Structure 1
Amino acid sequence: MTKVIIFDFDGTLADTIDILLNITNRLSVEFGFKSATKDELAQLSNLTSWQILRYSGISLFKFPLLIRKLKAELHSEMPNIELFAGIKEVLLELKNLGFQLGIITSNSQENVLALLEINGLQNTFSFIYSGSTFGKHKVINKWLKKEHINPEEVVYVGDEIRDIDAARKTGIKVISVSWGFNSQEVLAAHNPDFLIERPQELLDIMSNLGRL
């Protein structure tokens, strides 16, 4: 029976894609990689994170500093970022149903807390962990060990291929959402346990998983 729902943040709860694109393009000159238009972003949504890195020409040595700067610049934009339509109501209903909710993200905890507070959701999540862009599975495994949680009691909700990969590496179920970064087609090709198009679908899935 599923008891815990872990959410990704960017592209799953928060609609940060356009703002992240603008910030990334501003930093492209400083870090020496290709900027991207919205049309190119649509093409990139069919690629894995590693394929995107190769396409853009971002240096792996500069990548950690780029991510730190990206998170720092994003912080000032938090008042301009919105949750995806319907997600707040679904989160509150899942909490009312008795599920423990958490967030594991490659964004900063500071940014996540800022947006949750703006939306009155600061008491909705039991935990928020921030990890590296390609190390979510390590954060999940560390949390599972610390809390002595059976992976079969957990489901991860995310919008990217790397979320599917992280769930697979940790033995937890994964629900992919089609409203974020990676396209519905490429997510389906990576065989998540569930693939949804609307936040409200989470309620039906979790009601069933919670009864198993």
Structure 2
Amino acid sequence: MTIKTKALLFDFDGTLVDTMEGFADIAGEVIHRFHPEISFDEARRKYLETSGVPFFQQLEIILPGNPTNSQKAAIFEETKKDGFFRSTFSDEVRYVITELRNRGFIVGVSSNNFQYLIEQFIAREGLQFDIVLGFQDGFEKGKQHFEYVIKHFNLQKDDLTFVGDSLKDAEKAVTNDIKFIGLCGTFTKDQFLHKYPGIVTIESLKELLSCVQLY
């Protein structure tokens, strides 16, 4: 299936950079430390199941209203920085992003990492994007990022496609009438299509080059 689009907005963790397994380990350890009744494996699984939103929001899904959620979130965010900056863009990611921009697509990043962290990472890596959006208070991946990109580049909703690796990413796109491509890995093709039957899935980023068309 070919998707006609003008702009591609990419999720970051798990889509452009392989950080999800390490983040899941940190989340599992932090949750288990505060809640010994929740095993490390269960906490880790819950983190992956709810991925796609900031960790403090994940905690409100996993442990709604728990008074230590803000403390757990602070520990997680501080601990993950080491692993975050040890990560790099793969050769495949560099090739695909560069090729998409060479073909005339607008290419951007939409991340729930804090804005300053995502800017530092991308500046260090030297890979060019047309726009880089991170988390700020009241401005996060999903509706706010989509609307900003559409306005900034004078697009229509149908001109934008979101590429992500989680069911939450798919939910954000579908509920905002944005086209979505699911990168399998964190979730399988069957898991994506079971919940969102109409979406396109890919097994690698290189597949994007044959399934998107500029119009």
1:176 matched to 2:186: no
Q: Which residue of 1 aligns with 2:8?
A: 5
CA distance in 1, matches of 2:135, 2:174: 19
Q: Which residue of 2 aligns with 1:188?
A: 193
1:159 matched to 2:165: yes
Q: TM-score, normalised by structure 1?
A: 0.78
Q: TM-score, normalised by structure 2?
A: 0.77
Q: Which residue of 2 aligns with 1:101?
A: 107
- Contact 1:106–1:136 (8 Å) recurs in 2: yes
- SS of aligned partner of 1:107: strand
1:197 matched to 2:203: yes
Q: Which residue of 1 aligns with 2:40?
A: 36
- Contact 1:10–1:17 (8 Å) recurs in 2: yes
Q: How does 1:53-202 map to 2 (within 5 A)?
A: 57=63, 59=65, 62-63=68-69, 65-84=71-90, 86-121=92-127, 123-130=128-135, 136-144=141-149, 146-147=151-152, 148-179=154-185, 181-189=186-194, 190-202=196-208
Residues 141, 203 of structure 1: alpha-carbon distance in 2 compared, 3 angstrom cutoff: closer
CA distance in 2, matches of 1:182, 1:85: 22
Residues 194, 93 of structure 1: alpha-carbon distance in 2 compared, 3 angstrom cutoff: same
Q: Which residue of 2 aligns with 1:17?
A: 20
Residues 97, 87 of structure 1: alpha-carbon distance in 2 compared, 3 angstrom cutoff: same
CA distance in 1, matches of 2:78, 2:47: 24
More strand by share: 2
CA distance in 2, matches of 1:43, 1:28: 10
Consecutive unaligned residues in structure 2, runs of 5 or more: none
Q: Which moved more, 1:52-61 or 1:137-146?
A: 52-61
Consecutive unaligned residues in structure 1, runs of 5 or more: none
- SS of aligned partner of 2:142: helix
Instruction: Count how many residue pairs are aligned between Structure 1 and Structure 2.
Output: 204
Give, as a single letter, the amino acid of the residue that structure 2 aligns with 1:19.
Answer: G
CA distance in 1, matches of 2:29, 2:170: 29
Q: Which moved more, 1:59-68 or 1:152-161?
A: 59-68
Instruction: Tell me the CA shift for residue 10 of structure 1.
Output: 0.7
Instruction: Tell me the CA shift for residue 14 of structure 1.
Output: 0.9
